[in-house]
């Protein structure tokens, strides 16, 4: 079995993959602790593991994984990938973004891909039909947009996200919610439309913690994958562990 860890800005997801390269179990925590990780390792006894993180990881977590696993890879710009990477500064590319790209490519090889990851930031990444990561864009995520309207204005309230939002608000609260959330829908639809013209046969993926708010709103043939980064990490792990 493999253990795969995706440490984001606010959430950490841990998956255990079996022989069929499908997650047997997925755990989510806001704080990755040694005790929490030991519990998973003791229960499943994985042989190999990989970790990606966009924040600093404690030394004791890295030591634990290196001690308990026969093979462990801490994903970095130096890690060999099953796709090409043409990013000009690979050392600054978020490891979660390249893992999502690998995950999308493993599901749909041979097609141009757009990966939309809705997390703390919203990222838009492109992979060419020949399996080359071409680059992408970074935009503020849902929570950041809602908080910014409150923080940088004198009287606008901080509004909570909701799966139900109208195209236009009827009061200040619903106007903020609709403005931010419908704006994200239009933004994503624009990326899909424009890149479908640029890359014929484009296949679009939606992933990330905030996809629950937008999956039903984006009707443009988008493939929803909650575990795209985890699947990509497992693919990278298998690619390197087999060498």
Q: Which residues are catalytic?
A: 96
**With contact defined as beta carbons under 8 Å apart, do 74 and 240 qualify?**
no
Overall size of the chain counted in residues: 243
Max Cα distance, the chain (Å):
59
What long-range pairs does 15-19 form, CB within 8 A, spacing at least 24?
A: 15/227, 15/230, 15/234, 16/40, 16/44, 16/46, 17/234
For residue 203, what are the β-bridge partners?
113
> What tokens appear for 56 in the block?
């600093």
Sheet holding 84-85, edge to edge: 84-85, 132-140, 121-127, 113-118, 203-207, 223-224
Q: Give φ, ψ of 164 to 5 degrees.
A: -105, 110
**With contact defined as beta carbons under 8 Å apart, do 130 and 116 qualify?**
no
Distance from C-alpha of 234 to C-alpha of 243, rounded to nearest angstrom: 15
């Amino acid at each position: 079995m493999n253990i795969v860890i995706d440490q984001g800005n606010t959430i950490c997801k841990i998956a255990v993959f079996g022989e069929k390269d499908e997650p047997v179990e997925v755990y989510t925590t806001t704080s990755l602790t040694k005790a929490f990780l030991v519990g998973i390792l003791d229960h499943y006894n994985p042989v190999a593991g990989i970790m990606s993180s966009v924040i600093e990881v404690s030394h004791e977590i890295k030591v634990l994984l290196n001690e308990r696993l026969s093979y462990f890879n801490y994903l970095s710009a130096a890690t060999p990938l099953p796709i090409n990477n043409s990013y000009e500064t690979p050392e600054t590319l978020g490891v979660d973004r390249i893992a999502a790209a690998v995950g999308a490519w493993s599901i749909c090889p041979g097609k141009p891909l757009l990966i939309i990851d809705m997390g703390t930031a919203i990222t838009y990444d492109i992979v060419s039909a020949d399996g080359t990561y071409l680059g992408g864009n970074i935009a503020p995520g849902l929570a950041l947009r809602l908080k910014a309207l409150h923080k940088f204005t004198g009287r606008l309230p901080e509004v909570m996200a909701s799966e139900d939002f109208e195209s236009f608000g009827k009061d200040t609260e619903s106007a903020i919610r609709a403005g931010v959330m419908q704006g994200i829908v239009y933004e994503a639809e624009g990326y899909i439309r424009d890149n479908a013209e640029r890359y014929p046969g484009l296949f679009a993926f939606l992933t990330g913690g905030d996809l629950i708010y937008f999956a039903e709103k984006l009707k443009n043939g988008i493939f929803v994958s909650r575990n795209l980064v985890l699947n990509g990490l497992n693919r990278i792990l298998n690619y390197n562990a087999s060498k």
